[in-house]
């Protein structure tokens, strides 16, 4: 009995929302197929007939959960392409928004979302598939733009998008908010750095000089003088070791 006490004093639309939230908890705990409307009613301290004023069936509840999940998961991602940001910044924002979305408060919703889609009606199932492809396309386009603009090395954008989606979505399988030793920010940072470094061109991969300069200008923003100094030392060292390598290269002519 989670919401029992406050339920009766709420307005109709809020009551419906409380029922949906409770159904989400019950479906997450018992699995959709094992859960009944009686379980949902019991959790609320209500009878099943009382629930029928607000929802028509268990299937209806699942539909409502999916509609709300789509709004939560997809809309804040669909905003990203139109933003005034570079592709690497967009990618970082995607990972941060998507992970926080999953981690911070929607773990149960996300888990039901990925576990029960086969229980949806045909048409709703298809709607979800269309949205998932659209979601995937957002990241694919960011990666494609990043390649065109010289930030990212040449990769297969679709496969890399799948890798990134997999890495972030999988969180719902291992992240336990109540037990985790990791702060959500740390997870975002670790995942973002893996992807950024994994996709970014290294300087020696920049085939066009203007790209390298563009990147340098962007990279500069956050660096102190001593960091640039450190990088210069490393660069001189690298240059020297390359000359050394060429000097010792077997003479095959």
Residues that bind its own copies (CB under 8 A): 31, 33-34, 114-115, 118, 153, 155-156, 159-160, 162-171, 173-174, 182, 186-187, 190-191, 193-200, 202-206, 209, 212-213, 216, 220, 225, 228-232, 234-239, 241-243, 245-246, 249
- Nearest distance, CB of residue 19 and its own copies, angstroms: 24
- When the beta carbons of 37 and 161 are compared against its own copies, the nearer one is 161
Q: Residues 166, 169, 172, 178: is their CA dihedral positive or negative?
A: positive
d(CA 5, CA 131) in angstroms, rounded, equals 37
Three state DSSP letters for the chain = CCCHHHHCCCCHHHHHHHHHHHHHHHHHHHCCCCCCHHHHHHHHCCCHHHHCCCCCCHHHHHHHHHHHHHHHHHHHHHCHHHCCCCHHHHHHHHHHHHHHHHHHHCHHHHHHHHHCHHHCCHHHHHHHHHHHHHHHHHHHHHHHHHHHCCCECCCCHHHHHHHHHHHHHCHHHHCCCCCCCCCHHHHHHHHHHHHHHHHECCHHHCCCHHHHHHHHHHHHCCCCHHHHHHHHHHHHHHHHHHHHHHHCCCCCC
The distance of closest approach from Cβ of residue 246 to its own copies in the complex, given in angstroms and rounded to an integer, is: 6
Q: Are 107 and 170 in contact (CB under 8 A)?
A: no
Q: Find the shortest distance in angstroms from Cβ 250 to its own copies.
A: 9
Q: In whole angstroms, how close is the CB of 102 to its own copies at the nearest point?
A: 11
Quote the least distance from Cβ 80 to its own copies, whole Å.
20
Smaller CB separation from its own copies, 82 or 208: 208
50 vs 165, beta carbon nearer its own copies: 165
Cβ closer to its own copies: 19 or 164? Answer: 164
Nearer to its own copies, 89 or 189 (CB): 189
CB of 197 to its own copies, least distance (A): 5
Q: Which is nearer to its own copies, 71 or 213 (CB)?
A: 213
Please identify, using beta-carbon distances, which residue of 46 and 139 lies nearer to its own copies.
139
Q: How far is the CB of 109 from its own copies (least distance, A)?
A: 17
């Amino acid at each position: 009995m989670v919401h029992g006490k406050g339920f009766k004093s709420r307005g109709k639309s809020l009551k419906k929302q409380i029922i949906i939230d409770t159904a989400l908890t019950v479906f997450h705990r018992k699995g959709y197929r094992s859960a009944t409307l009686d379980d949902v009613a019991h959790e609320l301290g209500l009878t099943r007939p009382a629930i029928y004023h607000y929802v028509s069936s268990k299937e209806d509840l699942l539909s409502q959960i999916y509609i709300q999940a789509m709004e939560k998961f997809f809309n804040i991602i669909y905003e990203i392409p139109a933003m005034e940001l570079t592709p690497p910044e967009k990618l970082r924002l995607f990972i941060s928004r998507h992970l926080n979305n999953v981690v911070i408060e929607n773990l149960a919703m996300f888990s039901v979302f990925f576990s029960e889609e086969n229980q949806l009606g045909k048409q709703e199932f298809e709607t979800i598939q269309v949205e998932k492809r659209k979601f995937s396309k957002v990241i694919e386009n960011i990666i494609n733009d990043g390649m065109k603009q010289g930030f990212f090395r040449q990769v297969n954008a679709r496969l890399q998008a799948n890798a990134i989606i997999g890495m972030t979505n999988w969180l719902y399988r291992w992240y336990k908010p109540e037990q985790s030793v990791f702060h959500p920010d740390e997870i975002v940072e670790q995942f973002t750095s893996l992807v950024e470094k994994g996709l970014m061109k290294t300087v020696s991969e920049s085939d066009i000089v203007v790209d390298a300069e563009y990147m340098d200008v962007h990279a500069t923003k956050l660096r102190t003088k001593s960091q640039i100094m450190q990088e210069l030392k490393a660069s001189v060292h690298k240059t020297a070791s390359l000359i050394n390598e060429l000097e010792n290269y077997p003479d095959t002519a």
